[in-house]
Amino acid sequence: MDQTRTDRFKTAILLLAVIGLIAGLAFYFAGRRDIANIVWFAGVVPALAALTVEILRSIGRGEVGLDIVAALSMTAALVFGETLAAAVVAVMYSGGTFLESFAEGRARHEMHDLLSRVPRTATRHRNGGLEDIPLEEIAPGDRLLIRQGDVVPVDGTVASDAAFVDTSALTGESLPVRLARGAEAMSGSTNAGEAFDVTATREAKDSTYAGIVRLVEEAQASKAPMSRLADRWSLGFLAVTVTIAFAAWWFTGDPIRAVAVLVVATPCPLILAVPVALVAGLSRAAHFGVLIKGAGPLETMARIRTLILDKTGTLTDGRPKIVSINSADGMDEDDILLFAASLDQASKHPVAQAVVAAAKERGFSLPVPSDVAEIPGEGVVGYVEGRKIIVGGDAFVASRVGRRPGDHSAIAAGSVLVAVAVDGHMVGHLVMSDPLRDGAGQMLDGLRREGIARILLATGDRADVAERVTEGLGLDGLRAGLTPDQKVLLVLTERKNGPVMMVGDGVNDAPALAAADVGVAMGARGAAASAEAADVVLLVDRIDRLGPGIEIARGARRIAVESVVAGIGLSVMGMIAAAFGYLTPVQGALLQEVIDVAVILNALRALRIAPHEPTIPKPKAVSSGQDDIAQGATP
């Protein structure tokens, strides 16, 4: 039975129970109590039958739930002639299951928004014209037209001068983002400006948005550990309920008191509170660009005590940036960068692409190089506007211009030195490094405030490089030179002290992500292997989203526990009052209905969790000289 048919069935059961209750009351006040009892009985039977079938199915799956208490209360009320109480319980229980479906539907609203935004076709440039094609036909390299209001169908790079995209549905960013030519455009974002072109870099099935849809569907089908824990509690709660009901009957000889106890014990709070609160937490986290693969990882995420971070691409940006530009013969820094970037357009080396990106950020218009020859691992030689340019390692460029390599021992560990020569003369050097992500320090401070006791760095890089990059962050430990299996061993060792979260972005991090209690992947640029192995995917390339994710997880779990404790506590108090004769079966049923509604409304508070949004400092400008090298200044 699909979800729509299930919802209709629950609605029909609720309507029959409500009609039976109201019609019975009409006959009762008209003085026809005999007919009223028959009508109430008829209204209860469908709800009791549906409940019995559900119980038998659960037992067949090896599950014993709290539905048994509701079935006992309705059956006992009918057997001892308390048909009005039975009718109230039928309305209460069928209304509770209906409200559960409504609440979960409301909680999944943002996730459904993600699913409903999936585009079906794309517009491709072809032979000087445009054609609409299914998403499955898009191939890497295709140039696609993204009209105003269209959803970007696949991951790609902007092929126009600029683009304005709305990523709010994916990342929670409220303002459109400007993307320059060559910038990455994430599938699932919406064109908020003029039409622009995108060059596809992946097929639709391998793009970010397709992965998000798959993860959402998995999340919706999940069952939380707390939900399973609630099922285990059900045996204890059932035993307590039967004991109190039997004792009330045994010591007073009045079976109606036992019926009242069973009616008050109908355990909707324990059944509904946990899934509603946790699914609401999933929805809220997705709004902030944190996709959690189900209620299970969310509940575990709320109990994390140790955080292990990868360095490159996670704690750092993962892409080298220019720290400083040093002129050797008085040439202007902008000219040095312009010549180097123009020639580096012909190279796919990460350092070369970083130089090109830095020039484009400054708004430079780069001329096309000619007669280019690239020496793998060494550098590039070619002509830019008639001038011979050489860009590469210091030893490579120095040998090409007849000079000895300079002494650059003052450069900080982990930095990359790019030499530039023009017309046979060494004109300067670009000093590059992989800086910390903006806001990394504030993010770690916020996580400590959220109760993370230990924060460790695990990297395959050299210890001196890792120490320089993380200086001042106050980490509790640094493990350098690790292989993928050593990262796994570190995770397993730390798990002895409590739940561990591992954050990474590369293929080499995938084993450690899978071994951790909660693995978090940087999904915007990370490898597909790490995203598949992870329990949580950050949809935007910002490590600071981790803080709001953990805050939402802890808030949702806290609300779930509060709802359960308050609901069950009030139910037990009501059971005791009923055992001593202070509540009739009808009064007990009405009291339990009030408790149910209060508990569900409390659980829905998880939809309004407002995590602390970190303030990201503005990046610094490229500087000259050596002063900023060791500080890791970013352009």
The residues carrying an active-site annotation are: 310
Query: Which residues, 6 or more positions from 377, have their beta carbon under 8 angstroms from its beta carbon?
Result: none
Q: Which amino acid is at 235?
A: L
How do 425-433 and 321-327 pair as beta strands? antiparallel
Kindly provide the residue ranges of all beta strands, DSSP E only, lying in 468-606, ordered along the sequence.
477-479, 500-504, 518-522, 536-538
Query: Which residues, 6 or more positions from 178, have their beta carbon under 8 angstroms from its beta carbon?
Result: 162, 163, 164
For the chain, the first-to-last Cα distance in angstroms comes to 57
Q: What is the largest CA-CA distance in the chain?
A: 114
Q: Which two tokens stand for residue 134?
A: 């299914």
Integer CA distances (angstroms), 63 to 60, 70, 116, 219, in order: 7, 16, 34, 21
For residues 67 and 570, give the distance between their C-alpha atoms in angstroms, rounded to a whole number.
18
How do 162-166 and 290-292 pair as beta strands? unpaired
Q: Which two tokens stand for residue 132?
A: 């609409």
Q: Which two tokens stand for residue 424?
A: 């046979």
For residues 228 and 100, give the distance between their C-alpha atoms in angstroms, rounded to a whole number.
17
Decide: 419 and 393 in contact? Cβ < 8 Å.
yes
C-alpha 294, offset from chain centre? 9
Which helix (H) or strand (E) segment holds residue 196: the answer is strand 196-200
Decide: 55 and 67 in contact? Cβ < 8 Å.
yes
Decide: 151 and 119 in contact? Cβ < 8 Å.
yes
Query: Beta-carbon neighbour count of residue 154 at 10 Å?
Result: 29
Q: Which two tokens stand for residue 612?
A: 């602390």
For residues 185 and 33, give the distance between their C-alpha atoms in angstroms, rounded to a whole number.
70
Q: Which two tokens stand for residue 1?
A: 């039975």
Q: Which amino acid is at 99?
A: L
Which helix (H) or strand (E) segment holds residue 388: the answer is strand 387-392
Sheet holding 190-191, edge to edge: 177-180, 162-166, 190-191
Which helix (H) or strand (E) segment holds residue 92: the answer is helix 83-107
What sign has the CA pseudo-torsion 467, 480, 622, 613? negative
Q: Reduced to 3 states, what is the DSSP secondary structure of residue 174?
A: coil
Decide: 177 and 192 in contact? Cβ < 8 Å.
no
Integer CA distances (angstroms), 409 to 323, 395, 426, in order: 16, 14, 19
* No. of helices (H) and no. of strands (E), the chain: 21, 22
Integer CA distances (angstroms), 475 to 28, 330, 518, in order: 72, 42, 20
